[in-house]
Amino acid sequence: MAFSTKAFALVSAALVALGAFAVPAFAQAPATPWELKPDTGYAYDKDGKTFSYKMGTSNAGELLKGAKKVPRGTLFFIGHNGQLYMRSGPYLEGDGKFKFGPDQ
């Protein structure tokens, strides 16, 4: 099967155009709020997978036993090892920029 130079040029141009859209993804995007929903549980299981569950209210009292409020100013992140971490304390610079953002 012969592949024409014209077809090769067209495919190459398309790949270059797609690549141009991918470059801005490396810039730090502005922070956006999580969209946590009422009556939804979020889980991080023993294998490191995340899930969301639709919850009911019939056993809400049992759910709250042993539960703790997450303190304001808590940062959650996945480390290089795939482990979920949380950090309490400052994570914003004085000007409101993320302290641990990409190197400038």
> How many domains in the chain?
1
Q: Is 12 within a domain? A: no
The whole-angstrom separation of Cα 12 and Cα 28 is 28
Q: Is 32 within a domain? A: no
Q: Is 27 within a domain? A: no
65-76 pLDDT, tens digit each: 989 999 988 989
Which pLDDT band, with edges at 50, 70 and 90, does 2 fall under? very low
Q: Is 15 within a domain? A: no
Q: Is 81 within a domain? A: yes
Rg (CA), the chain: 22
Rounded to whole angstroms, the maximal C-alpha distance in the chain is 69
CB 87 within 8 A of CB 77: yes
Q: Is 1 within a domain? A: no
Which pLDDT band, with edges at 50, 70 and 90, does 7 fall under? very low
Q: Is 10 within a domain? A: no
Which pLDDT band, with edges at 50, 70 and 90, does 29 fall under? low
Residue 37 pLDDT > 60, yes or no? yes
What value does the mean pLDDT take over residues 51-75?
87
Quote the domain boundaries for residue 44: 40-88
